[in-house]
Amino acid sequence: MHRLVRGMAGILLALAAGGAAVGTTVLLPADLGELARGSQAIVHGRVTSVRAEWAAGRRRIDSFVTLEAAEYFKGDFGRSVTFRAPGGQIGRYRSVTVGAPVFREGDEVVLFLGARGPSVPYVLGLSQGVFRVVADADTGRRMVTPPALVAGVEPAAVRRGDPARRPIDLASFGDTVRGLAGRDESGHGLPAAGAGGDR
């Protein structure tokens, strides 16, 4: 028993002395209203480039993704917007962040983007802020697929055909998002920019 305790203490001491950094990602589900209200911009468009760069003193890789905007449902970052996503690959080195979206040239998406000051925008809620757009095989209509993680749902396996993840027509999705972006958490409409009132 004493050998086991000494062995465990030795392992813990070695880990502490080695300074091994351990990172943790906790992904809390966000509903569509939270994403819409919390974003600086909501944009539908197509990815035109993905560029990976070293970050944090070469301890991780971030991807800088450029999107050609087709339309904005909220805000406006311009016709072309570049945003940062954690993870990427440079040569034989690959950095992965659990829950982070992966982008490829040609991807059609609706993004919920945040920004802090003059920094490069980022996707809110990691993959939760990325809604993939695909063409319906029968009608050709643009359809939006919700991400797998949905607020209010207990952790569970992602199931094929889950009704909560059924594709939604892009125009209907845009109308819904515009409505949610213009409401506060109580469901009441927000005052228009520049409207009177104490602040």
Residue 56 in domain: yes
pLDDT tens-place string over residues 51-85: 999 988 888 899 999 999 999 999 999 999 999 99
Residue 43 in domain: yes
What CATH number has the domain bearing residue 96?
2.40.50.120
pLDDT higher than 90, residue 153: no
Rounded CA separation 131/116 (Å): 22
150 and 131 Cβ atoms separated by less than 8 Å: no
Domain hosting 74: range is 25-181
pLDDT tens-place string over residues 43-56: 999 999 999 999 88
Number of domains into which the chain is organized: 1
Residue 189 in domain: no
Rounded CA separation 122/68 (Å): 15
Rounded CA separation 12/18 (Å): 10
